[in-house]
Amino acid sequence: MEVRLKILFTSLCHTDVYFWEAKGQTPVFPRIFGHEAGGVVESLGEGVTDLKPGDHVLPVFTGECGDCRHCKSEESNMCDLLRINTDRGVMLSDGKTRFSINGKPIYHFVGTSTFSEYTVVHVGCVAKVNPAAPLDKIFVLSCGISTGLGAILNVAKPTKGSTVAIFGLGAVGLAAAEGARIAGASRIIGVDLNPNRFEEAKKFGCNEFVNPKDYDKPVQEVLAEMTNGGVDRSVECTGNINAMISAFECVHDGWGVAVLVGVPNKDDAFKTHPVNFLNERTLKGTFFGNYKPRSDLPSVVEKYMNKELELEKFITHEVAFSDINKAFDYMLAGEGIRCLIRMDT
* 143 among known catalytic residues: yes
pTM of the model: 0.95
* 250 among known catalytic residues: no
Question: One of 65, 206, 237, 250 is an active-site residue; which one?
Answer: 65
Question: One of 42, 68, 117, 342 is an active-site residue; which one?
Answer: 68
Q: 87 phi and psi, to 5 degrees?
A: -90, -25
Domain(s) of CATH 3.40.50.720: residues in the chain: 147-287
Which of the listed CATH numbers 3.90.180.10, 3.40.50.720, 3.30.230.30, 3.40.1010.20 matches domain 2-142+311-342?
Answer: 3.90.180.10
Question: One of 4, 83, 88, 317 is an active-site residue; which one?
Answer: 83
| Lowest-confidence segment of 87-91, 183-187, 243-247, 330-334 by average pLDDT | 330-334
Once rounded to an integer, what is the mean pLDDT over residues 336-343? Answer: 93
181-229 confidence digits (pLDDT tens): 999 999 999 999 999 999 999 999 999 999 999 999 999 999 999 999 9
Once rounded to an integer, what is the mean pLDDT over residues 8-22? Answer: 88
Question: One of 10, 70, 112, 143 is an active-site residue; which one?
Answer: 143
Question: One of 70, 79, 108, 163 is an active-site residue; which one?
Answer: 79
Angle of CA points 246, 249, 255, to nearest 5°: 135
Predicted confidence (pLDDT) at residue 19 exceeds the cutoff of 90: no
What confidence score (pLDDT) does residue 339 get?
95
DSSP string, 172-221: HHHHHHHHHHHHT-SEEEEE-S-GGGHHHHGGGT--EEE-GGG-SS-HHH
Question: One of 36, 64, 236, 249 is an active-site residue; which one?
Answer: 36
What confidence score (pLDDT) does residue 24 get?
59
The answer to whether 8 and 136 have CB atoms below 8 angstroms apart is yes
* 15 among known catalytic residues: yes
Average pLDDT, the chain: 95
What confidence score (pLDDT) does residue 272 get?
97
- At residue 20 the predicted structure's pLDDT band, cuts being 50, 70 and 90, is confident
* 35 among known catalytic residues: yes
| 327 vs 198: CA distance, rounded Å | 22
Q: 229: how many CB neighbours lie within 10 A of its CB?
A: 13
- At residue 345 the predicted structure's pLDDT band, cuts being 50, 70 and 90, is low
Once rounded to an integer, what is the mean pLDDT over residues 273-285? Answer: 97
What confidence score (pLDDT) does residue 27 get?
76
Predicted confidence (pLDDT) at residue 265 exceeds the cutoff of 90: no
Most distant CA pair in the chain, distance? 65
| 140 vs 264: CA distance, rounded Å | 23
* 71 among known catalytic residues: yes
155-180 confidence digits (pLDDT tens): 999 999 999 999 999 999 999 999 99
pLDDT > 90 fraction of the chain, expressed in percent and rounded: 91
Domain 147-287 has what CATH class? alpha beta
Closest CA to 166 of 154, 182, 183, 179: 179
Once rounded to an integer, what is the mean pLDDT over residues 137-164? Answer: 97
Question: One of 71, 125, 237, 339 is an active-site residue; which one?
Answer: 71
* 339 among known catalytic residues: no
Once rounded to an integer, what is the mean pLDDT over residues 330-338? Answer: 87
| 280 vs 110: CA distance, rounded Å | 37
Domain(s) of CATH 3.90.180.10: residues in the chain: 2-142+311-342
Structural Rg of the chain based on CA atoms:
20
Once rounded to an integer, what is the mean pLDDT over residues 278-282? Answer: 98
Question: One of 10, 13, 147, 339 is an active-site residue; which one?
Answer: 13
* 70 among known catalytic residues: no
Question: One of 2, 10, 31, 35 is an active-site residue; which one?
Answer: 35
Torsion (CA) 269, 270, 272, 276 in degrees, nearest 10:
-150
Predicted confidence (pLDDT) at residue 143 exceeds the cutoff of 90: yes
107 DSSP β-pair partners: 31
Angle of CA points 260, 242, 159, to nearest 5°: 35
55-90 confidence digits (pLDDT tens): 999 999 999 999 999 999 999 999 999 999 988 999
In three-state secondary structure terms, 3 is strand
Predicted confidence (pLDDT) at residue 292 exceeds the cutoff of 70: yes
Once rounded to an integer, what is the mean pLDDT over residues 290-313? Answer: 97
* 108 among known catalytic residues: no
Predicted confidence (pLDDT) at residue 9 exceeds the cutoff of 80: yes
What confidence score (pLDDT) does residue 203 get?
95
